[in-house]
């Protein structure tokens, strides 16, 4: 059975920059291992325009394309549209819970598309866990 994932922007950044946490955890390696598991299993990664918005804040457009290219070629990525109701719900949650808009939107997309939300960000686990059950990449077996 194909599993769908929605990867928070931090996972993409961990992979691309091969980042480590403040405590020394190899976040880049965790992200890389997750991408390899997804590719081996022929699972899917959903994303929306919001991922591109976030990545383009810190990277050149060509770099963003490079990061996504191997997954596009492998037919792993599925782009989902942002509906008006999802946008409005994310806006409301952002205000009510003091969580970044894009993260609220990611939680809603994961829920609506029955995808596993993968992140290292605490607010998914603390403030959005009634919408989705987030997991960290190193927890995926």
For residue range 29-70, list pLDDT tens digits in order: 999 999 999 999 999 999 998 998 888 888 888 888 877 887
Structural domain boundaries enclosing 100: 4-139
Q: Yes or no: say if 15 and 125 are a contact pair by the CB < 8 Å rule.
A: no
In the chain, the number of structural domains is 1
Q: What is the DSSP string of 69-130?
A: HHHHHTT-EEE----HHHHHHHHHHHHHHT--HHHHHHHHHHHHTT-EEE---HHHHHHSTT
Residue with the two structure tokens 């596009």: 72
Could you say which DSSP state residue 35 is in? H
Q: How far apart are CA 62 and CA 97, in angstroms?
A: 34
Other Cβ atoms closer than 10 A to 77: 16
Q: What is the pLDDT of residues 116-133, one digit of tens each?
A: 999 999 999 999 999 999
Encode pLDDT of 10-22 as tens digits: 999 999 899 999 9
Q: Scan for tokens 């599925």, then name that residue.
A: 78
Question: pTM to 2 decimals?
Answer: 0.92
| Nearest residue to 32 via CA among 110, 93, 118 | 118
In whole angstroms, give the CA distance from residue 128 to residue 28. 24
Give residue 63's pLDDT: 81
- We report the CATH number of the domain holding residue 58 as 3.40.50.1010
- Name the pairing type of β-strands 44-47 and 77-79: parallel
CA atoms of 27 and 68, how far apart (whole Å): 18
């Amino acid at each position: 059975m194909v599993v769908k994932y929605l990867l928070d922007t931090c996972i993409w950044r961990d992979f691309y920059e091969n980042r480590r946490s403040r405590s020394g955890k190899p976040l880049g390696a965790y992200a890389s291992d997750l991408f390899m598991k997804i590719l081996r299993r022929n699972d899917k990664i959903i994303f929306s325009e919001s991922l591109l918005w976030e990545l383009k804040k810190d990277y050149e457009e060509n770099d963003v394309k490079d990061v996504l290219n191997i997954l596009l070629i492998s037919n792993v990525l599925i782009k989902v549209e942002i509906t008006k109701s999802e946008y409005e719900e994310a806006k409301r949650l952002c205000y009510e819970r003091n969580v970044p808009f894009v993260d609220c939107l990611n939680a809603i997309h994961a829920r609506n598309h029955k995808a596993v939300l993968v992140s290292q960000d605490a607010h998914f686990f603390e403030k959005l866990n009634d919408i989705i059950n987030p997991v960290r990449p190193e927890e995926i077996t």
